[in-house]
Structure 1
């Protein structure tokens, strides 16, 4: 009898140990500690959040996958996809009023992060991104994270990225026996050789509108060793900055098409897509417009290349164009983070990239499935740009538009034949005044 009791006791202990082991294998962690959606039944049944997103491929993927997410978690997501201007207006009104809605929203980091952070509208996410090792926050490129950080705090998680690249006419380079430029000096030489306005082909095109051009000017600055500011000081009149600005202005002035002063990206892209320019530099995200037979006459003639190196090397911008942020006034922060974690996880980023939306996760760029949505020549250009890129493409101040006007005006002066050094000295003072004004607040 004693032997049988010992046997039953032993069996009971074994069963309990097995149950404990299985619980550990199948999501025995507390939901609040790791936020592992779908592992603990439906932890958010009866909970709902609101998410505002801009029109984008990433938003389309999230919308298409949302029923599966809601089924896994029990969380109801009221997803509203808005035109960009409408999104900005609604956010401004509701966040200024201290509304708890939306719980989650898309944000343009380099335009809005500093302002939203200063006003206390966004919840820092540093604590959240490290909770679940499977989320693998270190998988995001460093420069993309730089774009979404303010005062050392993570304000949003990258959703889509942009890099400045060089577009070129493969047929024109081949006919002239010109290799793809790897340096800015080589680019200038190639532009000169291919500039043929009498036959309707200009050597170079890029943005020439005062405010719009600044983001594309940025890579010219970085690649010469310059930046907009350093350690709280405006630096747009340094020798390196003057060199980068002069190069950009001279390329447009001497080899650009008529009307360049009125060109933002759609107009500049249109010139290139109609076959009227040999080289075009702009954001990587607009590549599909040049491969669309409905908008382009050079569909099979477009080449992609790294932004050429200056005296400091090739330093294109690599920025987060859109990020996902959490409302600091949200009443459902845990649920909001669960949504952000899912929407920016590896699986969703892979699906988004398959639809042509460049993400910020290194692992997805190294996955053949993750790059299947892009042209073959395009992939190594973006991959390399991500590794060496700079995480901002405009002045890093709250008054971004004002600062862009000041800096863009230097290029305008150059296009009009005025002295760039003198214009840069005056602009540097005006830009420093913005920096000092914002420090004082």
Structure 2
């Protein structure tokens, strides 16, 4: 349910396009009576924003849930193409702002007063959520946003291709690079990590034993091991063993399913499609360790529901979020398991999810449990862009990794100063 419908949508780099959080700053107050029937600011109903999920049936499901709510008319804006973020943040500056919207925890949204704390509706069930989903949404003891789905990402591979080449599952980043070479033929590339190679940014840093920021909100990604990992990426980029021009990006399973690559970075959401096409010839493994003593990494994406604190109907919006994403377990289970596979953030729902109890889905849950890492709420859009540029410069252009990291440091430190002084 994380793969978008447009093949132009890049799930990590476009997910938080520069037009989004950069435009926030101190947001103007939203609201005002626009007279829209069912509009969020009209007092007659609520408006919710969703990006266009790629899995069939998702839009119908969200509208079906909303229709079942009997305390207000809920209108869904289903944002297609690659402009979800820009439309969302542009709208938050106007009278047409949504009352509720899906997004990711971002400190700027909280500091600007754009999103409402939801402790009052989360309180009774807070302990039923994955603790990491609560922590990643918490600032100064208050929780902002209700997690809807957890989306672990890892490598999918064709077992038969690895067996034919006589190679095992890579245990280190160096082994991954070597394996990609041994699997590459004149028709199949060994590895696909996305057309612009930034989808694994976080995993690369974590697997090198580092992090984006430390517990003091200071730079933690600039280490010798991260620089060394970037050199391995550069080696893979110049080797000819990477698929770099797939028809759809990493979030879409087609590169592996159509035989364009032997190994693909993707999300658990695509597992049912892959299993249907490839059957038992499908395996998964985490991003392998990239430094001595470091652990493998699994990036946990996912989406959360936020309440617009500057809207006209904050209390009603909170009631709706509570009704759908806290009270209606049948809808939460349907959303997580009926349109691709996702891990329900509610532990009670995850515990009863039979679809995830055996086989490859169970392996995915175990990788998530053992190695899953979550977004850092203090990591802003400008920081995301800075790390993306490290890949563009150090990997694609051949800039010395230390120089590329130094350039990122200057940009990240400027952002940290804005946030924390």
Aligned to 1:11: none
Looking at structure 1, the residues matched to 128 and 251 of structure 2 have their Cα atoms a distance apart, in angstroms, of: 36
Q: Which of 308, 321, 324 does residue 288 from structure 2 map onto?
A: 308
Pair 1:118-2:103 in alignment:
no
Aligned to 2:194: 207
Question: What does 1:330-345 align with in structure 2 at a 5 Å threshold?
Answer: 330-345=311-326
Change (3 A) 1:237 1:92: closer
Aligned to 2:380: 397
TM-score scaled by structure 1? 0.71
Q: Flag the structure with larger Rg.
A: 1
Tell me how far 1:326 sits from its aligned partner.
0.8
Question: What does 1:55-204 align with in structure 2 at a 5 Å threshold?
Answer: 55-56=52-53, 60-70=60-70, 74-83=71-80, 85=82, 87-97=84-94, 99=95, 101-107=97-103, 109=104, 113-130=106-123, 133=124, 136-150=125-139, 152-194=141-183, 196-197=184-185, 199-204=186-191
1:216–1:282 Cα contact (<8 Å) kept: no
Aligned to 2:38: none
Looking at structure 2, the residues matched to 167 and 247 of structure 1 have their Cα atoms a distance apart, in angstroms, of: 20
Higher normalized helix content (fraction of residues): 1
Looking at structure 2, the residues matched to 317 and 253 of structure 1 have their Cα atoms a distance apart, in angstroms, of: 25
Looking at structure 2, the residues matched to 192 and 52 of structure 1 have their Cα atoms a distance apart, in angstroms, of: 43
Q: Secondary structure at the match of 2:320?
A: helix
Looking at structure 2, the residues matched to 259 and 205 of structure 1 have their Cα atoms a distance apart, in angstroms, of: 7
1:218–1:393 Cα contact (<8 Å) kept: no
Looking at structure 1, the residues matched to 195 and 350 of structure 2 have their Cα atoms a distance apart, in angstroms, of: 32
Q: Secondary structure at the match of 1:122?
A: coil
Pair 1:422-2:403 in alignment:
yes
Pair 1:239-2:208 in alignment:
no
Unaligned 5+ segments in structure 2 are 1-42
Aligned to 1:349: 332
1:115–1:398 Cα contact (<8 Å) kept: no
Aligned to 2:367: 384
Q: Give the superposed CA RMSD.
A: 3.4
What CA deviation, in whole Å up to 9, does each residue of 1:384-403 have, x standing for no partner? 31453111289802424532
Q: Secondary structure at the match of 1:265?
A: coil
Q: Secondary structure at the match of 1:275?
A: coil
Q: Secondary structure at the match of 1:96?
A: coil
Pair 1:279-2:253 in alignment:
no
Tell me how far 1:122 sits from its aligned partner.
0.9
Between Structure 1 and Structure 2, how many residues are aligned? Answer: 369
Change (3 A) 1:368 1:414: closer
TM-score scaled by structure 2? 0.74
1:235–1:241 Cα contact (<8 Å) kept: no
